[in-house]
Amino acid sequence: MNKVENSFLNKTQFGEDFLWGVSTAAFQIEGAHDADGKGSSIWDVFTSQKGKIKNGHHAATACDFYNSYQYDIELIRELNIPNFRFSISWTRIMPTGIHPVNQAGIDYYNKIIDLLLAQGIEPWVTLYHWDLPHALEEKGGWTNRESVAWFSDYVETCAKHFGDRVKNWMVINEPSVFTGAGYFLGIHAPGKKGITNYIKAMHHVTLATVAGAKKLRSNIPNANIGTTFSCTHIEPFSQNQKDVDAAKRVDTLLNRTFIEPLLGLGYPQDDLPVLKKLINYMLEDDRNNLAFDFDFIGLQCYTREVVKASLLTPYIGAELISAEKRNVISTVMGWEVYPPALYHILKRFNSYEGIKKIIITENGAAFPDTVTNGKVHDIKRTHFIQDHLEQILKAKEEGLNVDGYFVWTLTDNFEWAEGYNARFGLIHIDFETQKRTIKNSGLWFKDFLS
């Protein structure tokens, strides 16, 4: 039996109100890195540095969405996708990160929003998807407490210019990833390292998430406000107590550190003692500014990680056992293909009180796609999406809270440190010619949504 042609999945199984969409990010698709007054972001600078990105790739052009948005939005409509998640580039709106505002940037996003609505596609805006203005990074970036005020002003500007038409907002994307990779490990922009940089950044980002959400609520009273988290299902390598404890620390770091303070639970310091260093950066009123009553939470889950204890790893005393070492099926990113991870994450986050609605705001896979006779036969991606939708359906049938699914991503794009080597799109991009080719996975999704 060909699973793609004979899938038992049907859109109606998920309910009439279930949200279907596709997600993107400005830096990964727009290109036009210095067009029409746009300022430089930390990723513009990071990608210009030798050895930071695989094969020396950069995103100066990326998918050229800046100039091709009309065609790409037409493709979204053609694929029957009713919701489009995209992010706003802070440096198009405020080239230096603070006032004055760049009118050309405002005009650009107004054109996107107006065209989406004209095509019957609902816009979902992410306010921050990692592209901090470089001018602010020169002042310390997220390690500087002033970043909370900088971000609040930017959010208010977006709310005032776009809030009359945009109802759905996501404040910050995957804080655990961009603080961990960018301010502790140094493998993402801005390339900073060390526990002090990380602790400062994570605290200020959490405060900024709440401050930004409050700005949205005050400026757009009827807005549907959420924020998104990268979530990874964690399992111990063995039932040895040391491995079990190590897995708990990694789970705390990756899945709990940012969501719990926003729910009013505070930072999970007892299960990850290094977080006690936060005391050095907490001001008297901070505890009153760490929580917000979000309308929804976006979860972004791609895989699971298997963890064992390691005395050589500082702060968490744990190491990840790679998919390659475990000899399991994986993607181009080296991530294990393990659909039950999504079910486990949904079950886990349903255990929190105070989460009104959960939407899967990213899920997808990178495989080595090629165009053959004008087609892309990406059977693995279609299976990946189907298998993960089955896990969502399982969760729904058990009464778990899950209200939407957004595929990552619309088109192949600039995948951060991986450059153009990891193709996640439903649509193939020839980065030499910018030719778009809808993959078979995109055609399957189109039929599923029809």
Q: Which residues are marked as active site?
A: 174, 362
List, in order, residues 6 or more apart from 378 with CB less than 8 Å away.
Answer: 367, 369, 439, 440, 441
Choose among 7, 136, 118, 14: nearest CA to 70: 118
* N- to C-terminal Cα separation, the chain: 23
CA–CA separation, 447 and 442 (whole Å): 9
The beta-carbon contacts of 185-191 under 8 Å, at least 24 apart in sequence, are 187/417, 188/46, 188/130, 188/416, 188/417, 189/41, 189/42, 189/43, 189/45, 189/46, 189/47, 189/130, 189/132, 190/42, 190/45, 190/46, 190/132, 190/137, 190/141, 191/46, 191/49, 191/52
Tokens coding 425: 């799109």
Helices (H), 271-413: 323-326, 340-350, 379-397
Strand 296-300 versus strand 224-230 pairing type? parallel
Phi first, then psi, for residue 391 (nearest 5°) are -70, -35
